[in-house]
Amino acid sequence: MYYTERLQWVRDCKNITQKEIAEHLGIKQQQYARYEKGINIMPITYLPQICEYLDVSADYILGLINNMVSYKEKQD
């Protein structure tokens, strides 16, 4: 599973819209949607903000682990 699919899956599981994440990042919803679809490559600088907002580890999003671990747990 690509990081784009994991981003969408976690967002859907947590009932968060693309618009909500885009607003958190300070970008338009259409721009975020292009990242999720893999049309544009998401700047790595957004990853920590997204992981904190979705409360999921970057390791999970990047496919380094298969268990969805909380962002807060990885901070300890």
Q: What are the pLDDT digits (tens) for 23-56?
A: 999 999 999 999 999 999 999 999 999 999 999 9
Judge whether 41 and 32 are in contact, CB under 8 Å.
no
| Residue 71: CATH number of its domain | 1.10.260.40
Q: How many domains does the chain have?
A: 1
Contacts of 57 (CB under 8 A, 6+ apart): 51, 65, 68, 69, 70, 71, 73, 74
Inter-residue contact 36 to 8 (CB < 8 Å) = yes
Q: Is the pTM of this model over 0.95?
A: no
Residues 66-76 pLDDT 10s = 988 887 775 55
Q: Which domain holds residue 22?
A: 3-75
Give the Cα separation of 63 and 73 in Å (integer): 17
Asked if 28 and 22 touch (Cβ cutoff 8 Å), the reply is yes
